[in-house]
Amino acid sequence: MILGIETSCDETAAAIVLRDQSGHGTIRSNVVRSQLDEHAAFGGVVPELAARAHVEWLDHIIAQAADEAEINLADVDAVAATAGPGLIGGVLVGLTTAKALAASLGKPLIGVNHLEGHALTARLTNGVEFPYLMLLVSGGHSQFVLVRGVGDYERWGGTIDDALGEAFDKVAKLLSLGHPGGPAVERIAKTGDRHRFKFPKPLLREERLDFSFSGLKTAVRLQAEALAPLSDVDVADIAASFQSTVAFIIETRSRQALEKFSSLFPGQPMRLVVAGGVAANREIASVLDLLCNRVGAELIVPPIALCTDNGAMIAWAGAERFALGDTDKLTIAARPRWPLQDDDMRVKSDAA
Ligand code: KG4
Ligand code: ZN
């Protein structure tokens, strides 16, 4: 039984998760407090405000997670917390709290890579077997990762500039649709004409599994400026054209990534796991669904509350590592940057 703590961005989260010997997981509690209200006036996450809100709320959220799981914190087998990557102030709050708890309870500490939490969630929710391909599309990350085993990852490419969620947020901002932008763009795009504007698809002609969304965002801005003042129809058409461009890019790259997967693992089932907040987007989910049907791959999208940042994914990644006897020293350092690569998976200590 593992306590998981997540504080790397704007969610203060804690959860209690069980993993039995056969590798089956159960979420006993999963408490998430979003800081949307704190940051709303600023149109994005303000790191210092985020860190302060984590300090104020984390104790309560952990106590609530223990209450809802009907356990005493002393009952857990280990304490897991996000040790990076993320906003360093927030990561420090969660990791330091986890260290204090681990020390006072006399339990092992596990410093989890936040991306590893996203990568392993599908095993908690769907019992997915290794190997599989993960597409992570969130506010901070957009990348393909080959997941061969716990701690055994290969990054196959990602964004060279903005993350996909970030692109949605920026487009929403310039169309005055509010924050977070993804759901707002999706809502308004439903009524728009996706064929009205032809936006660029940066990098797509190149044979690499990378993304670039910053040029697309700029093209959207120039179009919006050219049409200003924007009517409601203009806004809806821009949103729809942007979203369908993005869906096409994601579909193309996912097809290429699945081809690479099948050439590496011939005859093995192809599995594509989608994680991150953008997985909530129905147009993107539907192109991925069609693609996987066409090429004979299995598409796994965990429930959206477990695709966005939460404590259960950190507890689960901790549980998978704990089962392998892989725990950390109390001296591990918080890491603002920490790519998901097997040669870089163990947290280093402050002293190192
Ligand atoms: O995974 P997440 O909750 O937080 C991290 O970034 O770690 O992802 C949040 C991102 C935001 O950028 C938000 O705009 C985007 O996911 N998002 C969406 C949708 N719902 C959330 N993007 C497109 N369509 C959506 N329906
Ligand atoms: Zn995340």
Cβ proximity of 61 and 200 under 8 Å: no
Q: What are φ and ψ of residue 281, in 5° steps? A: -75, 120
The β-bridge partners of 34 are: 11
Q: Per residue in 83-127, pLDDT tens?
A: 999 999 999 999 999 999 999 999 999 999 999 999 999 999 999
The confidence band for 42, taking pLDDT boundaries of 50, 70 and 90, is confident
Average pLDDT over residues 208-214: 96
Q: Which residue has the tokens 């790191």?
A: 47
Q: Helix crossing, 282-295 with 232-264: angle to 10°? A: 30
The CA distances from residue 159 to 153, 284, 303, in Å, are 17, 17, 24
pLDDT greater than 50 at residue 352: no
Among candidates 192, 151, 115, which has minimal Cα distance to 323? 151
| For the chain, percent of residues with pLDDT exceeding 70 | 97
Q: Which ligand is nearest to the CA of 277?
A: 1
Ligand 1 atom with least separation from CA of 118: 1
CA dihedral (312, 313, 318, 321) in degrees, to 10, reads: 140
The first and second tokens of residue 148, run together, are 């061969």
Kindly state the DSSP code that residue 211 receives in the 8-state scheme: B
**Helix, strand, or coil here: 106?**
coil
Give residue 280 CA to ligand 2 midpoint distance, Å: 13
Only one residue has tokens 């006072």, namely 104
142-166 confidence digits (pLDDT tens): 999 999 999 999 999 999 999 999 9
* Ligand 1 shell residues, CB under 6 Å: 9, 138-140, 165-166, 168-169, 180-183, 186, 276-278, 280-281, 308-309
The partner residues of 30 in beta bridges, in order of sequence, read: 15
Alpha carbon distance 174, 172 (integer Å): 6
Side chain identity, residue 191: T
Write out pLDDT tens, residues 251-280.
999 999 999 999 999 999 999 999 999 999
pTM for the whole thing? 0.94
**Binning pLDDT at 50, 70 and 90, where does residue 351 land?**
very low
Q: Does 173 score more than 60 pLDDT?
A: yes
Question: What's residue 345's pLDDT?
Answer: 72
CA distances to 159, 194, 218, 278, 342 from 163, rounded to whole Å, are 6, 22, 14, 10, 22
Distance of CA 66 to the CA centre of its chain: 24
Per-residue pLDDT at 349 exceeds 60: no
- As a dihedral over the C-alpha atoms of residue 91, residue 94, residue 97, residue 98, rounded to 10 degrees, the angle is -100
Task: Return phi, psi of residue 14, to 5°.
Answer: -145, 150
Q: What is the mean pLDDT of residues 131-146?
A: 96
pLDDT of residue 80: 99
